[in-house]
Copies of this chain bind each other. A is one copy, B any other.
């Protein structure tokens, strides 16, 4: 058996986790740029050079934090989705989006690490991909369920997009029509535009009451990908207002 290798291996795992924890603490407190290997080592009572036995460079430590952040976000979105799994697709879509926003507001520096400008001169390595796509996979699933074979007709694509749309469809979800995939990917990017603008201060003095605004906006995104209201026509009846 390869588990329980020995005290040595177990200690290594524990120290590695302790480093990541302390690093995450500093990341949350001060942001990625002020995250310092020396400070992490200092806080853990070890000398800075010892830390390089666990992470060969600062970038490698950041990469580990990035993967964890993607996973944390994905988990939040998935568990929020699980709680409304029985609801209609539109509500499930909005729930996932709201969960993503909630996570971002709770972990601004980690959000900045993964969806803001990548840390200077740094390009995300391949091993982040699976963790990074969890929210996307969730959104695809919601739309897939909504379309259950019916293939609701959507906004037709311009001619010069047809082949690319078919490639995207084949790559991401062959069972969904290309128009839907295109709308889905665009909505996916736009979701993070909404979150980023709020988080990075672009909405200051522009949008004040942000949660209803966000819900409304992602509701329109849901509509864009073809997720309609539970009761199709009951959308025009709002209470009167001056």
Binding site for B on A (CB under 8 A): 30-34, 112-113, 115-121, 123-124, 155-164, 167-168, 171-172, 182-183, 185-186, 188-194, 196-198, 200-203, 205-209, 212-213, 215-217, 220, 224, 235-236, 238-239, 241
Instruction: Report the copy number of this chain in the oligomer.
Output: 2
Report the minimum CB–CB distance from A157 to chain B (whole Å). Answer: 7
User: In the assembly, what is the distance between CA of A119 and CA of B205, in Å?
Assistant: 21
Q: List 30 A-B contacts (CB under 8 A).
A: A30-B121, A31-B121, A33-B33, A33-B120, A33-B121, A112-B117, A115-B196, A117-B117, A118-B200, A124-B201, A158-B216, A159-B238, A159-B241, A162-B238, A164-B207, A164-B209, A167-B208, A168-B207, A171-B205, A171-B206, A185-B206, A186-B217, A186-B220, A190-B190, A190-B194, A190-B217, A192-B202, A193-B193, A220-B224, A224-B224
